[in-house]
Amino acid sequence: MTIQPSKVWFITGCSTGFGRALTEAVLEQGEIVVATARKPQQLKNLVQQYGVGQSPAIGDRILVLALDVTQSSDIQAAVNQAIATFGRIDVLVNNAGYGVFGAVEEVSDVDIRRQFETNVYGALNVTRAVLPHLRRQRSGHILNISSSGGFVGFPGAGIYCASKFALEGWSEALAKEVAPLGIHVTIVEPGAFRTAFNGTLVVPHQAIEDYATTSGQMLQWLHQMDGQQPGDPKKAATAMIQVVNHSNPPLRLVLGADVLEVVHAKLEAVAADLAEWRHVSVNTVFEGAAVSAIGG
C-alpha cells in the first residue's frame, strides 16, 4: 500500500474565522499548515498543541508566520520560509480579507483603496508568489475565499462586492491558465457564517438619508445577524478539505443554502434578460461578419 505524504497548506488570515477553523481542521487531519496572520501570537496555542520543533514558531506540523498581505516583502518572505521549512506548498488558501460596507456614494476613497489592497491585490500577490512552486511541482490547489457577494451585488455592499467580483474574475481566468499544469483553482462562496466578520465591518462615517431603505437596511441586517448566522465555520472547513481531496474539484464551491438561493435567483434573472433582449444583442455586428465565441 502506498502511503500518501501529508499535504502542506499555506493559509492566510488564520487568527479568526474561516482561516482559524480551516487551520484547526487541517491539523486534525494530520496534515501540515503554514498559518499566517497579521497577529501570529493569536495562534500560539496551536503551536503548543501540535508540538514545538526547532524554534518557538515551528511546530512538528505547523509553521506560524507574520503576514500582512498588503506588504509584498512580507509575502515573499513568508513563501520563501514555507518552502525552506517544508520543501513544498500543496494548497494555497487566500482567506485574509475584510468588508467595507455602505452605499457606493458613501464610502471614502481611502476605504475603497484599502478594500482592494487586501481583498484583490493581497490575494493576487500571494498567488503570484506561490505559483512558481506549484508550476514546478505540476500540482497544487488554490482556494480563493470569495463570498455570496462575489457572485451577486447587494445594496450597501457595492465596494465589498466589487473586490470579490474582481477576485472571482482573475480566479476564473487563472483556473484555465493553470489547468494544463495540474493545478486546480476553486472559488469558495460562503453565505452567512458565524464568524467575527459582521462585527468588524468598516462603515461610512456619515450615512446619506436617501439610502436608508437600501444600504441602510443592509447594514442593519448585518448587525442584527452578528452572532446569529446559520453557517458553521467548522463545517465549512470540512467542505473545503473535501474539495481539495476530490479528483475533480469544482471551480465554484457554494457554502450555505442562503447562497444557493441567491445564486439560482441571479442565474434565472440573467437568463430572462438574455432571452428578452437577444434580438438586440445579436443585431450589433457588421453585415456578413463571422461570429465566434470570445477566446475561441
Contacts of 152 (CB under 8 A, 6+ apart): 161, 262, 263, 265, 266
| Rg of the chain, C-alpha, whole Å | 21
- Amino acid in position 192: A
Residues 6+ apart with CB under 8 A from 134: 89, 92, 140, 142, 178, 181, 183
The C-alpha cell of 53 is what? 520543533
In 3-state terms, what secondary structure has residue 22?
Answer: helix
Choose, from 147, 148, 163, 164, the residue flagged as catalytic. 164
Burial (0-12, 13-18, 19+ Cβ within 10 Å), 283: exposed
CB-based contact 215:159 (threshold 8 Å): no
Q: Which three cell numbers stand for residue 266?
A: 441571479
Contact 155, 215 (CB under 8 A): yes
- Count of Cβ atoms closer than 10 Å to residue 269 Cβ: 11
Is residue 146 annotated as a catalytic residue, yes or no? Answer: yes
From 7, 15, 146, 148, the catalytic residue = 146
Give me the catalytic one of 160, 163, 211, 215.
160
Active site residues: 146, 160, 164
